[in-house]
A and B are shown apart, each in its own frame.
Chain A
Amino acid sequence: MSDEVLLQAEHVVKEFPVRGGLLSRTVAKVSAVSAVSIEVKAGETVGVVGESGCGKSTLGRVLVNLLRPTAGRVLFEGENLSALKPAAMKEKRRRLQIVFQDPFASLNPRMKIGDTLAEPLRVHLGWKADKAGAAVQDLLVQVGLSAEHANRFPREFSGAQRQRVGIARALALEPSLIVLDEPVSALDVSVQAGVVNLLQELQRVRHLSYVFLAHDLSVVGHLSDRVAVMYLGKVVEVGDRNQIYTRAQHPYTQSLLSAVPIPDPERQRSRRRIVLEGDVPSSVDPPSGCRFRTRCWKATDKCAAEEPALVDRGEDHPVACHYPEVVVALV
C-alpha cells in the first residue's frame, strides 16, 4: 500500500426521483447516497458495509461514473470524472472497473465467454482477433479457469465460474481499481472461499485497489484494510479494519457486528447481543436528526434535533454519533 490517493469521493449525493400519481409526476425523491466522502489509496481495499438499501450499489456506480452524482464529485487519478469528455473517460475506464453482484445478468447469454472477454481488448486497445484471443486464454488461466472455457457460453458455467469470468473481464484492461459489488454473495459457501482467495492473490500480484461493497461483515472484514459503515445513505463510521471490528464506536456498527452469526457455538453463547427493534426506515422520508435514532437504544432529544457530523476524534476513526463509545465482547 502507498499513500498515493487513487480515488476520492467528495460529499457525493445521489438522488432518484420517486414517481407517482396519474401523470407519474415526481412526487418525492430518494436520497440513495447522502454526502458520502471516501478515499482509496493505491493497493488498498476499502470495504463498504450496510444493510439492504443503504446505498452501496448506488455509491459503487457513482464511483465508476456509471451514474452521475446529483452533487459532489469523484476524483480518479486526480481528475473529476463527471467533467471528463467521452474520449478521456474511455481512457480512464480502462483503469477503473466494476464487477456486479449477479454474474449471470452481466454476461451476454448468446456470446461465447472468449468473445465477451475479447471485446474490451478490441474496443479499447484495437487488438486483432488472434492477439486478443491469446490474451483471453491467459486471463482465463489467471482467474483459475482454463483456456478451453473460451468456447463456452455463460449457461455452461456454475455461479462461481461466472463470477470468475466477471473478474476476468474487469481485469482485461489492466485496471488499477475495481469496484466489487457483492462479488461472492450469490455463491455457495463452499466455493466462496476460492473467489475470495483469487481476489486477494490478484491484488497482491497486480497491486490493485478494491472498493468492496457487501452486506456480509465476515467477508468484508477478511478482505479490507479500511471499512466504511453505511446506514440510510450515510457513512456513520470509518476506520481501519481493526478499529471497526474491535473498537467500533457507533451504535449501528455495534449492533451489526453483534448480529453477525459466528460459526462457533461457544463464541455464540458468550458474546454480547444487541438486538435492535424495528426495520430500516424508508429512505424517501428518513428520520430527522440522526437517521439511526428510531432504532438506537441511546437516542436522546438531541439525536432527533441535531444531525451528528462524521467527526474524527483524533485516531483517524471518524464516527457520526453524539455519544460515541466502545462496547466490549461484541465479536
Chain B
Amino acid sequence: MSDPGLESPPYTEGEVLLSVRNLRTRFVTEGGDVPAVNGVSFAVRRGEVLSVVGESGSGKSVTAMSILGLLPPTARIEADQMLWRGESLLDAGEARIRQVRGAEIAMIFQDPLSALNPMHKVGRQIAEMILIHEPVSKKEAASRAVEMLNLVGIPQPAKRAGMYPHEFSGGMRQRAMIAMAIACSPDLLIADEPTTALDVTVQAQVLEMLLRLKDELNSALMLITHDLGVVAGISDRVMVMYAGRQVEVGTTDQVFYRTRHPYTRSLLRSLPRLDDRGTDALTPITGAPPSLLRLPSGCSFHPRCPLVKERCSKDVPDLNSGGLGHHPAACFYADEVSGDTASVVGGRS
C-alpha cells in the first residue's frame, strides 16, 4: 500500500533519519481502550523542520513518546515500521533504545522542570548526560556543559552552571533543558510545545535558537505545537492531526495556501490575526473535539465539518482519499476545499 504521509514530497534531499509507518498507540483504561494515535505515518529528513500541529488531545505528544518509548505501561504501541537511520526501533532492546534516546534523538518538553532534577546543579546535570553517552573525562564533560549553556545564550555560563534550576527564570530553564538535549549532538531534536508556557518575546528567542542549533548540529527538528502562527514561521513541512489521525501533510506553503482539509481550513479561519483589522467576525468551528472513547463513525471530523456529506459518516478517509496529484489529505472532498483558501490566508492584509 502506498503511504502518502511517508512519501509526501520531501523538503530536503537530506538522509531519511526517522520513518514511521502506520503507528497505532492505545491506552488500556477502565473506561475502555483509548486509541490515542491511529495509523500515523511520516518521515523526517536531515536538515528539515517538520511541525506537528493539532489541538490538545489530538495525539501529538503520544506520537513522539511512542517513538522514544516514554509512555507508561498501560500503552500498547504497534506499527508496521519504525526505522531510525535504517535500524528498527520496534526490534531494538531497552538498552539500545536508551542509547538512542538522548544521544541520537533528544526530546525537549513543555515543562522544563519535568526534565531537570531540582536537587542537582544545572551544569552537573548536563555533564552527566554527556558522561552517560560518551567516553570523556568528568572534567571534559563539565567544560562541555558550560559550552552548551553558552551556546543556548545563557549569560555568564560558568557561573550559571553552578546554580540550581529554581534559581533560573522560566525562559532560562527552557534554555538549560535545550542545552542538556543538545549536549550529545543529537541527529533529531523533538520539541514538544517548547514555548507554550513562555511569553511571546521569550518564545521568539527560543524558536530562533532552535533553528540555529538545528543548522549548527546539521540535524532535524520535529516541532510539536498547537500554534499555527509558530508553524508558519518555522517549518518546512507540516502534519496536521485531529483525533489521533493525520488529516493533512504537506510543505508549509501547501498547507497554508493550498489547504486541502476542511479542518485545517476551519482552523485558519477561526484565528484572530495580528494583521487583521479586527472588523470581521471570526468563523468558529461548531462543536468540540470528540472524546477518543466515543469517536464519531466514518470521518472523525464529520460532526463539525462544513462540507459533510452522506458518505462521511460511513467511510473512514485516509491520506489517499484526497486524490492523486496533490499533497495528501484525509478527506473525500478535498477538491472542494482548495480554491477559496487564498481568500483565507494572505487576503487580509
Interface residues of A (CB under 8 A from B): 51-52, 158, 160, 188-194, 196-197, 200, 215, 217-219, 221-224, 241-242, 245, 255-268, 273, 275-280, 295, 331
A-B contact pairs, 7 of them (CB 8 A): A190-B304, A193-B283, A193-B284, A222-B272, A259-B200, A263-B228, A276-B205
A264 contacts B346, C-beta separation under 8 Å: yes
Q: How close is B18's CB to chain A, nearest CB, in angstroms?
A: 24
Contact in complex: A160, B256 (CB < 8 Å): no
Interface segment, B34-42, B111-119, B273-281?
A: B273-281
Check: B232 CB closer than 8 A to any chain A CB: yes
Q: Is B157 an interface residue (CB 8 A)?
A: no
Q: Does B171 contact A (CB under 8 A)?
A: yes
- Tell yes or no: B288 within 8 A of A by CB: yes
Query: Is B183 an interface residue when CB atoms closer than 8 A count as contact?
Result: no
From A193, A221, A276, B278 is in contact (CB under 8 Å) with A221
Q: Is the CB of A219 within 8 A of B272?
A: yes
* B88: min CB distance to chain A, Å: 35
Q: In the complex, what's the smallest C-beta–C-beta distance from A256 to chain B, in angstroms?
A: 6
B87 at interface (Cβ–Cβ under 8 A)? no
Q: Chain B 262-301, CB within 8 Å of chain A: the 1/0 string?
A: 0000111011111111100111110011000000000000
- Chain B residue numbers with a CB within 8 Å of A193 are 270-272, 282-285
Given contacts A218-B274, A279-B170, contact A190 B266 (CB under 8 A): yes
Report the Cα distance A221→B278, complex, angstroms: 6
- Contact partners of B233 in chain A: CB under 8 A: 261-262, 265, 268
Contact A256–B282 (Cβ < 8 Å): no
**Are A255 and B201 interface neighbours, CB within 8 A?**
yes
Q: Taking the nearest CB of chain B, how far is it from the CB of A3, in angstroms? A: 22
Judge whether B288 and A158 touch: CB under 8 Å. yes
Least CB distance, A183 to chain B, in whole angstroms? 13
Residues of A with C-beta under 8 A to B252: 265
> What A residues does B277 contact at CB under 8 A?
242
CB-CB contacts of B191-232 with A at 8 A, as 1s and 0s? 000000001111111001000000000000000001111111
Interface residues in B231-262 (C-beta closer than 8 Å to A) = 231-233, 252-253, 256-257
Task: Show the binding face of B for A, using Cβ within 8 Å.
Answer: 55-56, 153, 155, 169-172, 199-205, 208, 226-233, 252-253, 256-257, 266-268, 270-278, 281-285, 288-289, 304, 345-346, 349
Inter-chain contact A51/B200, CB cutoff 8 Å: yes
Q: Looking at the complex, which one of B199, B205, B227, B289 makes contact with A261 (CB distance below 8 Å)?
A: B227
Q: Which of A190, A197, A215, A267 has the most CB of B within 10 A?
A: A190
In the complex formed, the residue of B with least CB distance to A224 is B278
Enumerate chain A residues within 8 angstroms of B304, measured Cβ to Cβ.
190
In contact, A260 and B282 (Cβ under 8 angstroms):
no
What B residues does A191 contact at CB under 8 A?
284-285, 288
Contact B268 A263 (CB under 8 A): yes
A267 to B201, CA, bound (A): 18
Known: A197-B281, A221-B274. A261 touches B232 (CB 8 A): yes
Sample of 7 further A-B pairs with CB below 8 A, known A190-B285, A242-B277:
A194-B285, A222-B272, A259-B200, A263-B229, A264-B346, A275-B208, A276-B201
A245 CA / B274 CA spacing, docked (Å): 8
Set of chain A residues within 8 Å of B202, measured between Cβ atoms: 279
Give CA–CA (A265, B236) in the complex, Å: 10
A259 touches B266 (CB 8 A): no
Task: Report the minimum CB–CB distance from B268 to chain A (whole Å).
Answer: 6
Tell whether, in the assembled complex, residue B232 and residue A268 are in contact, meaning their CB atoms are under 8 Å apart. Answer: yes
When the two chains form their complex, are residues A197 and B282 in contact, meaning their CB atoms are under 8 A apart?
Answer: yes
> Which residue of B is nearest A258, CB measured?
B204
**Contact partner, A262, options B172, B199, B270, B275, Cβ 8 Å:** B275
The residue on A at minimum CB distance from B279 is A222
Contacts of B289 in A (CB 8 A): 188, 190
> Most chain-A Cβ atoms within 10 A of its Cβ — which of B272, B274, B345?
B274
- Report whether B170 and A190 are in contact in the complex, using a CB–CB cutoff of 8 Å: no
Contact status B271-A266, CB under 8 Å: no
